[in-house]
A = this chain, B = another copy of it.
Amino acid sequence: MPTPRTLRTRARILDAALDLFERQGYSATTVNQIADAAGVTPMTFFRHFPTKDAVLVTDPYDPLIADAVGAQPADLPPLERVRLGLLSALGDITPTEDATARRRVALVAQSPSLRAAVSVGTEATQEAIVERLVADGVDRLDAAIAASACLAATTAALLAWGSAPGDITLAHLVRRALAQLAPAGATS
């Protein structure tokens, strides 16, 4: 349970960072600049965000995803289980689909090092999916292949959403991405 003061400081840092990133680019702005703009010491920045990229990339690991994968029929091939699981976990609800989220995604899509941070953050989700499938007797490599392919497609949709027209919903792009991985002729 974070203190109100903590939340205020964190919000100030986040605002200052987003502003500077959009004005001069991610790699061109230093943590010192962000701290200055937020009226804070660089040290305080790192107390609220473990790394510079954590301002934009929050680890999206959600145990619900692994659960949703595990809930799919066990007799399906691994890829199809992961695909349907992701679809049921992400294809519907769209958590924080506000303008700020979109600004962040757009920034991430522009920087190679930020995209790398996203792929690191996704590894936790992949790992959780793999463990779930392995527990059901699926070969570990097959599980890793299925999970990484589906998550890569989902990430591609997420990054595209950052610069997509405003009326296009993230859930729509995710469904479109996963539809491409469907067995030939499938309609769902």
Binding site for B on A (CB under 8 A): 77-79, 112-113, 115-117, 119-120, 123, 141-142, 144-146, 148-153, 155-157, 159-160, 173, 176-177, 180-181, 183-184
Give the CA-CA distance A24 to B181 in the complex, in Å. Answer: 41
Residues of the B chain whose Cβ atoms lie less than 8 Å from the Cβ of A151 = 152
Give the CA-CA distance A92 to B142 in the complex, in Å. Answer: 20
Contacts A115-B120, A183-B184; A156 near B145 (Cβ below 8 A) = yes
A165 to chain B, nearest CB (A): 12
Contact (Cβ within 8 A) B144 A160: yes
Residue in B116, B123, B181 whose CB lies within 8 Å of A120:
B116
As for how many copies of this chain the complex holds, the number is 2
The SS class assigned to the A binding surface is: helix
Contacts A112-B123, A120-B112, A149-B181; A157 near B173 (Cβ below 8 A) = no
Contact (Cβ within 8 A) A173 B141: yes
Residue of B nearest to A159 (CB): B144
A-B contact pairs, 19 of them (CB 8 A): A79-B181, A112-B123, A115-B120, A116-B117, A116-B119, A119-B119, A141-B157, A141-B173, A141-B176, A145-B153, A145-B156, A145-B176, A148-B155, A149-B149, A149-B156, A149-B181, A151-B152, A181-B181, A183-B183
A156 to chain B, nearest CB (A): 5
